[in-house]
Amino acid sequence: MKGFCTIGRIAAVLAMAASLAACVSPPSSYIVLLPNPDGTVGSVIVRSQRGEQVVSQADQGVLLDGSKAAFDVPQAQIARDFGAAVAARPLLPEHYMLFFDLGTSNLTAESKKELPRILDRARARKTADISVIGHTDTLESASFNYLLGLKRAKAIAEQLRHLGLENMELSVESQGLRNLLVPTPMGVAEPRNRRVEITIR
């Protein structure tokens, strides 16, 4: 009998395995630690009356009763024991930033090149909710920048719809000069703050 759960940020897949060939006799339950999508690895502590073990390396496992030290788990065994759990994991949100010319809703040349990739990633999902949030630097007033951030977000949402995402849920908002990517005092023209943040869920 097998069961599983996912430990959010450290992307550890926990599963009840029917056997652990060549490592455990009689058959026992164990967990295996998988890397995050970005390659980073968290850790899991297993503690019971029989002992405490820490798993902190990708593709290592440990018995759920904590009685034995962590051990390497071959990829073939991970696929066999945990393949269904891995396949059932929901897709993680994807985040993108596009940048703008000073005082406008015109994308920089470099950011224009990013649109096809964003479209491809959105289309790769069967269904997607996309949020588009506009931001500005600290030139001009807060009210002016709120409207400029909204203009930027609407412009990007319109481009995404025009390029083929008209059937997906798109939410648009502005944060103006709030939530600066690069903290600056008022009156500073910081290119990295002139942006739209796109999240695909």
> pLDDT digits over 53-73, tens only?
999 999 999 998 888 899 999
Residues 159 and 193 in one domain: yes
Q: Which structural domain range is residue 152 located in?
A: 94-200
Query: What does pTM read for this prediction?
Result: 0.66
Percent of the chain scoring above 70 in pLDDT: 86
Residues 114 and 193 in one domain: yes
Residues 70 and 100 in one domain: no
Among residues 45, 63, 88, the one where a domain terminates is: 88
Residues 50 and 117 in one domain: no
Closest CA to 157 of 141, 145, 172: 172
Q: In the prediction, which pLDDT does 6 show?
A: 35
Residues 52 and 79 in one domain: yes
DSSP 8-state code for residue 191: G
For the chain, what is the domain count? 2
Residues 100 and 196 in one domain: yes
Residue 81 has pLDDT above 60, yes or no: yes
CA gap 194, 176 in Å, rounded: 9
Residues 150 and 192 in one domain: yes
Mean per-residue pLDDT of the chain:
85
How far from 4 is each of 8, 11, 84, 88, CA to CA, in Å?
A: 13, 13, 9, 10
Residue 1 has pLDDT above 50, yes or no: no
Among residues 30, 56, 88, the one where a domain terminates is: 88
Q: What is the pLDDT of residues 104-136, one digit of tens each?
A: 999 999 999 999 999 999 988 877 889 999 999
Residues 73, 59: contact at Cβ < 8 Å? yes
